[in-house]
Structure formats: structure tokens, C-alpha cells
Amino acid sequence: MFNNVALDVVIGLVFVYLLYSLLGTLIQEIIATNIGLRGKILEKAIKRMLDDSGKSQGSKLSAEFYKHPLIKYLADGSWPLKKKPSYIDPQTFSKVVIDLLRGQDVQPGSADRPLIQQSLTDKKILWDPTVSIEDETALYLKSIWADAQGDVIKFKASLENWFNEMMDRTTGWYKKYTQLILLFVGLAIAIVFNVDTIKIISKLQSNPTIRNQVLEQADAFAKANPNLDEKIVQTEAKINTKIWSKADSVNLSKKALTEDVASKKLRDTLFDQATKLVGNNIDNVNSVLAIGWKPGGYENNKADLNVKSIIGWLLTALAISMGAPFWFDLLNKLMQLRGSIAPKDGSNKKSAGAKKVNTVG
């Protein structure tokens, strides 16, 4: 059996990081959902689009946008902090902007073109003439209005393209915020569970029995969940990216509320799977590595409260912030490397014999 201590220690450490990264991702997603993070990031994007720098006085165009009935009733009021919708499709965005420009008194069969032109010329929306269109926003709207040659349908399509381009940036903003949350969640996990990277490395290096048990768990985990990284990435893409909108999300653009509910169900499914997965495996690896706090309070645990432990917790937090897909991919590569090198350790004769048998057969 292959016995490279350094590689085995790395595999064991990566496996621990993977399990706690899954737990961290679960907690981070719960936090992001309950504080309405997606809605807040989406609001930031809408303000960036409609309010220029956002430093002007008086009523803002983005505020009027969110007052529109079509947007107002998309919000999820089930949680106090979730006062803004987390999903707006491109068609909804373009309709609301055109409504604001042409005003509330539009009649069936009336031409929208002169009304939109008037709003852009006056830099005031007809929906509420007290609300001004800021200079940079007005400049861009006039630009795409001119490109559309005053055609409302083409103008609507340009607004949707503008929205989709902004949502690509918004997805990047969201990932940065969630990674920051995951870093703090990782630090909390490291302290609560006493997951000290330095101590774990020391145990894996010095105790072959512990090292082999952790490796067996890692191998079993990788075999039992061969597509875990794909499931995580696909689920995150559906939750994080499509929660706002993408240009290729044809079904989502027509069923905003329905798909928002579907995303929540998908997220709940991930939670259930992660809870079972993490619960069983973390308990097992904690038992083997003796991770955690000893009973008896401070007197029995004061040895772990030192600068070295703090460094170990910080290393764990940084590792968790890198996310479960990274560690799962690395674990698979290391296990493959270990498997490819294993036959060279004292089993070359067996391999050669096997080759001869195969050749003869």
C-alpha cells in the first residue's frame, strides 16, 4: 500500500476542509436568504442604472421604479429584512421603465413615442413629473432611444439588453459578498468546533492510525459522491445567477414568481442533502481527529486558547471561504494521484505478473 505521509496528510486536511466548507456554504446561504442579500444587491444595481452616482437630492428614479405595482408586489414579505424583490426579469424591467416614461394616463391605442420623447427631453418622468431623470441616465436613455429610431419595440429590447448586461456584473458583486460572508462564517465554524488547522496537521503527521482512518473516510466519501462538485456548481448557478436574470433564461423571463419559488425549493433540497451529508461525515471525522472542545469549560480547554490556535482557526476560515467545489475537485485529483503512484510502492512485481496474465489470456 502506498505510504507517502506528506500526500496522505494533505488529503486528510483537504477532506476536513471539504466537509466544513459544505457546512459553511449551507450557513452562508441561510444568512443570505434571511437578510435578503439578493434583493439588496439587485437594488444596488437598479440604483446604479437609474440614479447615476446616487448623490442627487429629491425623489430618485430608482425609488419610483420600486414603487411601481409590478415591482412592489414581487417583494417577499415573509421576513422583515426582505423588503425588496430578489428577482426581476428583463421584460419586467423594460415595461416598468417605459411606464415611468410614458406616464399613468396612457390610453389604449395611444402612441407611446411622443410621451417617451417628452420625458427624455424634459428629463422628468410623466409617471410623476416631480421625479427627474439624472444627467447620465438621461444621456444613455436618449442614446438607445436614438439608436431605436424612436421605435418603442426596439427601445424596449435595448432596455432589456442593458438590464442583462448589468445583471452579469451583479452576479459578480453577489459572489464577492457571499465570499466575505463565508469567510466570517468559516471563522465562526473554526472557533465553535475548534477546527485548528495546525493541530489537525500535527495529528495526521504523528498518528498513522488516525491518518489511515481519515483517508478511508475521504476515499469512501469521494466514491459515494462522484458528482458532488457538479451538483454544487449547478445549484449555485441556478440560485445565484438566475435569481436575477440571464439573457438565455427564456423560461425565467416569463415566469418570474414561479421560478423564484422553484429556486427556493432547489435551495431547500440542497439544504436537506447538505445537512445529512455534513452531519454524518463531520461527526465521523471529528470523532477520529478529536476535533472540538473538551467538556469541563475553560480549565480543560485553556491549552487551546493561544496564539497558535488563533492562527490555526484563521487558516481554517480562509480554507472554508474558498468553497466546497474547490476542495472537492482537489480531493479527487489528490486521490487519483495517490492511486496512480500506489503500485510503485512494493507492488511492481504484482503488477508485472498481472500484465503477463492479461497478455497470455
The pLDDT-based confidence of 353 (bands split at 50, 70, 90) is very low
- Give the span between the Cα atoms of 359 and 361, in whole angstroms: 5
Per-residue confidence (pLDDT) for residue 252, from 0 to 100: 36
Residue 94, pLDDT > 90, answer: yes
Domain spans of the chain?
A: 5-41+168-345, 52-164
Q: Between these two residues, 245 and 323, which has the higher pLDDT value?
A: 323
Which among 350, 341, 361 is positioned nearest to 11, based on CA atoms? 341
Per-residue confidence (pLDDT) for residue 271, from 0 to 100: 66
Q: Between these two residues, 337 and 344, which has the higher pLDDT value?
A: 337
Rounded to 5 degrees, what are φ and ψ at 110? Answer: -75, 155
CB atoms within 10 A of CB 156: 19
Say if CB 104 and CB 89 are below 8 A apart: no
With 0-12 / 13-18 / 19 or more C-beta atoms within 10 angstroms meaning exposed / middle / buried, residue 331 is buried
Per-residue confidence (pLDDT) for residue 31, from 0 to 100: 85
Say if CB 253 and CB 89 are below 8 A apart: yes
pTM: 0.74
Residue type, 343: P
Which among 72, 28, 67, 47 is positioned nearest to 134, based on CA atoms? 47
Say if CB 289 and CB 214 are below 8 A apart: yes
Question: Could you tell me where the DSSP H helices lie in 35-148?
Answer: 37-50, 61-67, 69-72, 90-102, 113-122, 135-147
Residue 119, pLDDT > 90, answer: yes
DSSP assigned state of 294: P
Which among 232, 330, 303, 316 is positioned nearest to 22, based on CA atoms? 232
pLDDT digits (tens, 9 = 90+) for 26-52: 888 888 877 888 888 999 999 999 987
Question: Could you tell me where the DSSP H helices lie in the chain?
Answer: 5-34, 37-50, 61-67, 69-72, 90-102, 113-122, 135-147, 152-192, 197-206, 208-224, 228-236, 250-254, 256-289, 298-301, 307-321, 324-341, 348-360
Mean pLDDT, the chain, integer: 80
With 0-12 / 13-18 / 19 or more C-beta atoms within 10 angstroms meaning exposed / middle / buried, residue 219 is middle
Q: Between these two residues, 302 and 133, which has the higher pLDDT value?
A: 133
- Give the span between the Cα atoms of 3 and 208, in whole angstroms: 10
- Give the span between the Cα atoms of 164 and 161, in whole angstroms: 5
Q: Between these two residues, 189 and 299, which has the higher pLDDT value?
A: 189
In the chain, pLDDT over 70 holds for what percent of residues?
75
Which among 20, 40, 44, 26 is positioned nearest to 236, based on CA atoms? 26
- Give the span between the Cα atoms of 154 and 160, in whole angstroms: 10
Cell of 223: 466514491
Per-residue confidence (pLDDT) for residue 232, from 0 to 100: 63
Say if CB 92 and CB 98 are below 8 A apart: no
The half-sphere exposure of 150 on its side-chain side, counting CA atoms within 13 A, is: 9
pLDDT digits (tens, 9 = 90+) for 241-271: 444 444 333 333 334 444 445 455 655 665 6
Per-residue confidence (pLDDT) for residue 78, from 0 to 100: 53
Residue 239, pLDDT > 60, answer: no
Cell of 351: 503488477
Residue 358, pLDDT > 70, answer: no
Residue type, 284: N
